[in-house]
């Protein structure tokens, strides 16, 4: 197989050249540290013959993973308009911060481990397992009779949600050739990310006309159809996975559980510091300073352990040091900030400043939703045709920065034409670039055992 430098930015557009999915580029000698173990690289010698999903099965698979990720992202914002009713029912104003933060804490803590889990176990059944955990958490939340029960359900749902986006991208990466992957990734991420923006609208509708419990129950009937579809479609793995029983016997080594035990507390402490700082505690309070200090100290311990293990670590440093990887991760982090800012604060602005109802606040952000969806669907085929991702990423960052700057000019007298146009601009920015870092990393990196 021809070797290419990691600085090569063009994705393969010729389907015939895409013999192995996601293997259009390989690591060259200048990209691999001198102590790198070649046996860890996944090459043609130990790959299985590519097996792609086609026809109706591909449609069912794409629809299923898109719906799953949509539900997961919907769950991150759907409570924005339901929390006042929940706190009234449970008389639990003191717990209101935990209803949203515990989900993010559980998800952030488990997130690094999910990649290793997908690497060692069947992608199909690992994805189904994570979704089942997410559904169990949703059922507990819907049936809650007290605040503590709702918080427990949110934590369980967060654990399940931690593996859904990773799993969806992994499944797409092994089910379709690289030449078609940008289109399908664009469709999946474009539709699913609407869950963040549409959450307040859906939550407001349920809270106003049915019950806030349906903010969680809605996941169950939809999830039942998804379980059936995912169980009937065979999802190929990119390479032969070891037997599950063999992995379980060496679980602490295979999954680097010590590394996880160091990184998870760092993520939790950072999340708590950012959640509590300036609200529950002053930024200069001993609690917040202690959380930040603990996060830094635990991260340093994790990096030391990570360096010691090398390529078998939870997050191999040889991988993170590669410029396309860290730059894509940083870019995606910044772009996802833009998505959450729009999804969380725009509905609050329309309710608090313009006096809109929960449902109308969701209607007012439709301009943002539609423009994001249209751009996400358009840009995917363009990437597939041209093979370039950087122009769209740069444009997305610029437009996103401008649109958020324009959001800051909103006031009680802002006319509808103005906030609609600004939201369209923001949706264009998000839709143009959100999936680009994911596509770039999948195209550039080789598969690893």
Domain contains 67:
yes
152: domain range? Answer: 15-26+49-255+314-444
Torsions phi, psi of 388, nearest 5? Answer: -110, 140
State residue 368's pLDDT score.
Answer: 83
State residue 22's pLDDT score.
Answer: 37
Stated pTM of the model: 0.74
State residue 201's pLDDT score.
Answer: 80
Domain contains 268:
no
Q: What is the 8-class DSSP label of residue 347?
A: H
State residue 35's pLDDT score.
Answer: 45
pLDDT, one tens digit per residue, over 42-56 is: 333 444 556 788 888
State residue 14's pLDDT score.
Answer: 43
Domain contains 267:
no
Domain contains 4:
no
Domain contains 215:
yes
Q: Considering its fold, how many domains does the chain have in total? A: 1
Q: How far apart are the first and last CA of the chain?
A: 18
Q: What is the 8-class DSSP label of residue 50?
A: P
Domain CATH code at residue 397: 1.20.1250.20
Catalogue the long-range contacts made by 408-412 (C-beta closer than 8 Å, 24 or more residues apart): 410/349, 410/353, 411/353, 412/353, 412/354
State residue 4's pLDDT score.
Answer: 40
State residue 377's pLDDT score.
Answer: 80
Domain contains 170:
yes
State residue 446's pLDDT score.
Answer: 62
State residue 447's pLDDT score.
Answer: 55
Contact 438, 169 (CB under 8 A): yes
Domain contains 283:
no
Q: Which residues of the chain have pLDDT under 70?
A: 1-50, 239, 252, 445-449
Contact 223, 211 (CB under 8 A): no
SS3 211: coil
β-sheet bridge partners, residue 448: 41
Domain contains 345:
yes
State residue 50's pLDDT score.
Answer: 61
Torsions phi, psi of 277, nearest 5? Answer: -60, 125
SS3 135: helix
CA 380 to chain CA centroid, Å, is 18
- For 199-233, b/e burial (b = at least 16 CB within 10 A) is bbbbbbbbbeeeebbbbbbbbeeebeebbebbeeb
* Neighbouring C-alpha atoms within 13 Å toward the C-beta of 315: 21
State residue 2's pLDDT score.
Answer: 40
| Structure tokens belonging to residue 179 | 């030449």
């Amino acid at each position: 197989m021809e070797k290419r430098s990691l600085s090569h930015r063009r994705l393969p557009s010729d389907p015939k050249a895409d013999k192995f999915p996601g293997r259009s580029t390989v690591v060259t000698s200048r990209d691999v540290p001198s102590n790198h173990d070649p046996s860890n690289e996944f090459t043609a010698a130990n790959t299985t013959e590519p097996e792609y999903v086609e026809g109706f099965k591909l449609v069912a698979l794409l629809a299923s993973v898109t719906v799953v990720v949509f539900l997961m992202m919907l769950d991150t914002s759907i409570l924005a308009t339901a929390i006042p009713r929940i706190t009234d029912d449970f008389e639990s104003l003191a717990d209101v911060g935990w209803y949203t933060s515990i989900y993010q804490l559980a998800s952030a803590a488990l997130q690094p481990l999910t990649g290793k889990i997908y690497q060692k176990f069947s992608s199909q059944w690992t994805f189904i397992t994570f979704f089942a955990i997410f559904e169990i958490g949703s059922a507990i939340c819907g049936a809650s009779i007290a605040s503590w029960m709702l918080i427990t359900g949110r934590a369980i749902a967060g654990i399940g949600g931690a593996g859904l986006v990773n799993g969806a991208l992994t499944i797409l990466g092994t089910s379709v050739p690289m030449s078609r992957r940008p289109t399908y990734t664009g469709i999946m991420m474009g539709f699913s990310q609407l869950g963040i923006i549409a959450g307040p609208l859906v939550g407001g509708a349920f809270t106003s006309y049915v019950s806030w419990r349906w903010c969680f129950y809605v996941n169950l009937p939809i999830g039942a159809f998804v379980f059936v579809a995912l169980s009937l479609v065979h999802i190929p793995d990119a390479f032969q996975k070891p037997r599950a029983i063999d992995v379980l016997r060496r679980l602490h080594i295979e999954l680097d559980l010590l590394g996880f035990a160091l990184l998870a507390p760092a993520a939790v402490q950072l999340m708590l510091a950012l959640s509590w700082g300036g609200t529950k505690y002053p930024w200069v309070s001993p609690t917040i300073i202690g959380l930040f200090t603990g996060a830094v100290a635990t991260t340093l311990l994790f990096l030391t352990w990570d360096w010691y293990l090398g390529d078998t670590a939870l997050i191999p440093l040889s991988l993170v040091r590669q410029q396309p990887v860290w730059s894509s991760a940083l870019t995606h982090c910044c772009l996802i900030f833009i998505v959450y800012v729009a999804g969380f604060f725009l509905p609050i602005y329309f309710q608090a400043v313009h006096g809109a109802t929960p449902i109308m606040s969701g209607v007012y952000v439709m301009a943002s939703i539609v423009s994001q969806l249209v751009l996400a669907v358009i840009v995917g085929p363009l990437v597939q045709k041209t093979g370039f991702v950087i122009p769209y990423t740069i444009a997305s960052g610029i437009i996103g920065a401008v649109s958020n700057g324009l959001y800051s000019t909103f006031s009680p007298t802002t006319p509808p034409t103005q906030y609609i146009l600004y939201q369209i601009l923001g949706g264009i920015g998000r839709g143009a670039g959100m999936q680009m870092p994911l596509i770039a990393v999948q195209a550039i990196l080789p598969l690893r055992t």
